[in-house]
Amino acid sequence: MQFSLADGALWYGAFLFSTVCHEASHAWAALRLGDDTASRGGQVSLNPWPHIRREPIGMVVLPIVTWFAAGWLMGWASAPYNADWARRYPRRTALMAAAGPAANLALLLAAALLIRVGCEWHVLAAPYTLNMSHATVAVDPGAMDVVAKLLSVFFSLNLLLFVFNLLPIPPLDGSSLPLLVLPESVARTYAAAMRSPLARIVGFIIIAQGLGKFFPPIFAHVAALLYPGVHYASPV
């Protein structure tokens, strides 16, 4: 199969920026809450290099390979933290974990706002067929086609990253959120269980089996919120 280099570059640029924002938010939150591990690695920054240097396979190699192999991007990134700090302060750990999805939510809302502004100015419109590259379309062909695709990708990708990372499954950020409400003694036991290799393996299996089933309906519902009166079936 042939895939567009221009589309691949656009998707990769959005992936890189969104992922860097996610990890930089983790690092910044950890620093504010007393752990400077990621900060010492240079990750309280929107400069992609410290993040790529930590995870070159997840941030460069795998996204490029999966685009050319399948026409979609897959990758990962991470921010280091002090395990002793995390054990001592489970609620701070949960706040650090929540900072990453919060960054993706902010990018999602920014893209949604720009799409709505474009619709009000009659330069963007609801697509007839919804997919992750076409959450909005240009009214007239030309330069706005690129803008529409860019906003579509940022909207779709950050919705995926936000929803995906809130799943209460290790090693995702959502698995740390119960630490905000659990009693401290229970929180430490729970955190240790979530860090176990077995829990992570089970988590990866659940993610691999379920992501393709639960995300399309969420995407269709959230996209429809942009366009009052428009209803979309779940994209394939």
Identify whether 203 is part of a domain: yes
The last residue of one of the domains, among 80, 109, 143, is 80
Taking CA 13 as the corner, what is the angle to CA 117 and CA 128, rounded to the nearest 5 degrees? 45
Residues 71 and 110 in one domain: no
Residue-wise pLDDT for 63-110, tens only, equals 999 888 877 888 889 999 998 999 889 899 999 999 999 999 999 999
Residues 103 and 220 in one domain: yes
Range of the domain at 53: 1-80
C-alpha neighbours within 13 Å on the C-beta side of residue 53: 9
pTM given for the model:
0.90
Mean pLDDT of the 139-156 span: 94
User: Is residue 13 within 8 Å of residue 73, measured between CB atoms?
Assistant: no
Q: Which residue has the tokens 């079936």?
A: 233
Identify whether 24 is part of a domain: yes
Residues 75 and 94 in one domain: no
Residue-wise pLDDT for 198-216, tens only, equals 666 666 666 666 666 778 8
Residues 106 and 198 in one domain: yes
Identify whether 232 is part of a domain: no
Residues 105 and 57 in one domain: no
- Contact residues for 7 (Cβ-Cβ < 8 A; gap 6+): 133, 149
Query: Measured between alpha carbons, how far is 164 from 42 in angstroms, rounded to an integer?
Result: 26
Residues 110 and 39 in one domain: no
Identify whether 233 is part of a domain: no
Residues 59 and 104 in one domain: no
Taking CA 66 as the corner, what is the angle to CA 173 and CA 61, rounded to the nearest 5 degrees? 75
Residue-wise pLDDT for 175-191, tens only, equals 888 888 888 778 888 88
Cα end-to-end distance, the chain, whole Å? 18
Identify whether 85 is part of a domain: no
Residues 149 and 42 in one domain: no
Residues 95 and 36 in one domain: no
Percent of the chain with pLDDT over 90: 58
User: Is residue 63 within 8 Å of residue 15, measured between CB atoms?
Assistant: yes
Total count of domains within the chain: 2
